[in-house]
Amino acid sequence: MPKLKVDGIEVEVPQGATVLQACEAAGKEIPRFCYHERLSIAGNCRMCLVEVKPGPPKPQASCALPAADNQEVFTTTPMVKNAREGIMEFLLINHPLDCPICDQGGECDLQDQSVAYGRGGSRYAENKRAVTEKYMGPIVKTIMTRCIQCTRCIRFAEEVAGVEEIGAIYRGEDMQITSYLERAVSSELSGNVVDLCPVGALTSKPYAFEARPWEQRRTPTIDVQDAVGTNVTLYSRGRQVLRSLPRINEDVNEEWATDKTRHHVDGLVRRRLDRPFVRRAGKLVPATWDEAFAAIAAVEHGGSVAAVAGDLADCETMFAGHALVTALGGSRLEGRQTGMDYDTSSLAAVNFNTTIAGVEKADAILLVGTNLRWEAPLVNTRVRKAIKKGARVFAIGPETDLTYKVEWLGADLALLGDLPRHVHDAFAGADKPMLVLGGAALKGGHAAALRLVEPLGLIKPDWNGFNVVHMAASRMGGLMLGYAQPGGIAALADAKLTFFLGADEVDFSRFAGFKVYLGHHGDRGAAAADVVLPTAAYSEKSGTWVNLEGRVQRGERAVFPPGDAREDWSILRALSAVLGQPLPFDSLPGLREAMFAAVPALRNPGLAAFEWNPPVLDGAAAGVIAGYPIADFYLTNAIARSSPTMQQCSAELLHGDMLAEAAE
């Protein structure tokens, strides 16, 4: 490990570290525009110049200079100061004075560093150049005259997203960043280039001219658009969430977020349920809470009561629903809305045991019935990192573009019982083998996949390579709370009273009994219900979610729900009193204590410990995987379907619709 001095401070850094990293280890701030910790080194902005001895008597780019023993680095000498001021002067010669109207204002690296390292004036007297705007799709707005050619967006698209659709054309002063043929960028991670852009060249198109960062309140919470559990910060003003940005969590999402995570938020204020409804004469009509509760109390159910949890439900809601169903004499609970039915006697057998961060260590990967790019995009980026380290990837299922090289073995599930010899050989020589079972194969291939654990050597003393990919934020929490009925959701169809806890993906025609829908959007569930009770969206309540790897995480309330909508658990508590079976909690802390007593693993945030005791299941896998569960990445739930931005992404990026834009 190299030892060197930075401004007289001795530091020791790992082999291969750069001088810039050594300076940061010494507590020195080094300005930069092109350098980013998660991207390859470009060394083209030159803002990170430092003086290094021994070496040539000139400033050197610290981001591209390897740290070495006995180096002396100086970050505050007159040479460095003059060099940085000169670089800043060059970067600003063509930059427009757009700060008053730029959406990057207040969060702009160029603003901050020009104040800290810039001169008071410019010696540039020639005409400034201008660059025409480029089209990059519904998510990214471009003002390319502001671009300083740091190439972060290009490197992200190639290295992380795996979609080589952003690049540079021309040379020198005429260089321009653009998308391929100025078409929309097709990556589901394209919004991350807005965070990466150190100037205002790439900004968020849906957020344009909406608000300034200092006007908004920031609330840490958990994203519910998929089962990854992306850590996000919701930015709100008044009673509206204006944007969702990722928080750094190395174990989950690093610092990335999908476009759906970022831009579904405009759906939080559209098509909202803000009052109870009761079906009368075949039509839903507005009602008071008392009238809605009375309609439910009038149902003669005789203990035939069930509950279905939706994909976005938090653990508190599901626990309260479980408690109410039990109090009314029922026991049937289900969270797998679309008819999935698999053994849940061992939670480890339906968990992502490798962990999301652990995927990077895998050296042989078998994907079975999963389109990771849509089902868990931020797990897919980890697979890309594993491939860069030498991992081989095999897949069973219909061929699709996962953004990396895959050897497709076919779409027949029978392959699980007869894998080709070279696949067995690859796994035999692997130190960290991994199998990923997706929703398209979980119902018919779970047993066969479990039988591969020993032949493929998936379990080692410090490694569990058996993984199941869930797509719903509520799924693992629901399984921990008992929302898995033998026979799946079909076993609930004859219930006389069914509570749908935000469940919108159900085939409601199969339910002949009385249907009570608790939800926040006027979507499929509300249209089919006999009584609609308006609830809070995930952004409007504090809740607990468990992601696909069994990680318990808590989110906080950012804004209050609209109109008469209330938090789900409080509605169920009030309803229980009307039904004569009051639940034993009157507050959120009281509910959580009862929930922790029932499921201790939910008490402490972090990875829940599931004992590896897989069931012995009979039956050979058979059948051909015709397609993957997610047909439209951008419209997977009620909030996304209510979002104009997600509707536009779906129409343009998936269905090829040409959307006209007005000239500005």
pLDDT score at 659: 66
> How far is residue 56's CA from residue 279's CA, in Å, rounded to a whole number?
82
Same domain for 84 and 150, yes or no, is no
Same domain for 459 and 542, yes or no, is no
**Does the pLDDT value for residue 664 go beyond 60?**
no
In a domain, 615, yes or no: no
Kindly give the residue spans of alpha helices, DSSP state H, lying in 599-651. 638-641, 644-649
Omega before 96 within 30 of 0, i.e. cis: no
Question: Among the three residues 559, 583, 607, which one is the final residue of a domain in this structure?
Answer: 583
Same domain for 316 and 408, yes or no, is no
pLDDT tens sequence across 466-484: 999 999 999 999 999 999 9
Same domain for 119 and 22, yes or no, is no
pLDDT score at 616: 84
Q: For residues 416 and 452, is the Cβ–Cβ distance under 8 A?
A: yes
- Residue that the structure tokens 């060197």 belong to: 4
Same domain for 383 and 451, yes or no, is yes
Average pLDDT over residues 260-266: 96
Shortest CA distance to 503 belongs to which of 518, 515, 487? 518
Burial 225-255, CB ≥16 within 10 A → b, else e = bbbbbbbbebbbeeebbbbbbbbebebbbbb
pLDDT tens sequence across 277-306: 999 999 999 999 999 999 999 999 999 999
pLDDT score at 292: 97
- Residue that the structure tokens 């409804």 belong to: 277
Question: Among the three residues 92, 124, 139, which one is the final residue of a domain in this structure?
Answer: 92
Same domain for 332 and 374, yes or no, is no
- Residue that the structure tokens 């079975």 belong to: 368
Amino acid of residue 272: R
- Distance of alpha carbon 143 from the chain centroid: 27
Shortest CA distance to 227 belongs to which of 647, 629, 649, 641? 629
pLDDT score at 55: 85
In a domain, 149, yes or no: yes
Average pLDDT over residues 510-518: 95
> How far is residue 39's CA from residue 64's CA, in Å, rounded to a whole number?
13
Q: For residues 264 and 643, is the Cβ–Cβ distance under 8 A?
A: yes
CA distances from 604 to 76, 450, 593, 601 (A): 46, 29, 12, 7
> How far is residue 623's CA from residue 412's CA, in Å, rounded to a whole number?
6
Amino acid of residue 322: H
pLDDT score at 339: 86
Token pair of 332, please? 């049937």
In a domain, 200, yes or no: yes
In percent, how much of the chain has pLDDT > 90? Answer: 88
Read off φ and ψ for residue 449, nearest 5 degrees.
Answer: -65, -40
The enclosing domain of 285 has a CATH number of 3.40.50.740
Which residues partner with 79 through β-bridges? none
The enclosing domain of 167 has a CATH number of 3.30.70.20
> How far is residue 431's CA from residue 386's CA, in Å, rounded to a whole number?
13
pLDDT tens sequence across 540-558: 999 999 999 999 999 999 9
pLDDT tier for residue 662 given thresholds of 50, 70 and 90? low
Instruction: Give the sheet arrangement for strand 364-368, strand by strand.
Output: 407-410, 392-396, 364-368, 433-437, 466-468
Same domain for 358 and 451, yes or no, is yes
In a domain, 636, yes or no: no
Same domain for 334 and 357, yes or no, is no
Shortest CA distance to 83 belongs to which of 111, 50, 125? 50
**Does the pLDDT value for residue 592 go beyond 90?**
yes
In a domain, 436, yes or no: yes
The enclosing domain of 374 has a CATH number of 3.40.228.10
Query: What is the domain count for the chain?
Result: 4
Same domain for 461 and 382, yes or no, is yes
CA distances from 531 to 284, 288, 474, 480, 514 (A): 8, 11, 23, 28, 8
Q: For residues 73 and 5, is the Cβ–Cβ distance under 8 A?
A: yes
Same domain for 528 and 551, yes or no, is yes
pLDDT score at 477: 96
Q: For residues 213 and 201, is the Cβ–Cβ distance under 8 A?
A: no
pLDDT score at 617: 83
Structural domain boundaries enclosing 123: 108-204
Which residues partner with 544 through β-bridges? 554
Read off φ and ψ for residue 556, nearest 5 degrees.
Answer: -110, 160
pLDDT score at 135: 93
Shortest CA distance to 323 belongs to which of 337, 307, 347? 307
CA gyration radius, the chain: 27
Question: Among the three residues 583, 616, 648, which one is the final residue of a domain in this structure?
Answer: 583
In a domain, 495, yes or no: yes
In a domain, 386, yes or no: yes
Q: Taking all residues of the chain, what is their mean pLDDT, rounded to a whole number?
A: 93
In a domain, 126, yes or no: yes
Same domain for 358 and 462, yes or no, is yes
The enclosing domain of 33 has a CATH number of 3.10.20.740
Same domain for 446 and 359, yes or no, is yes
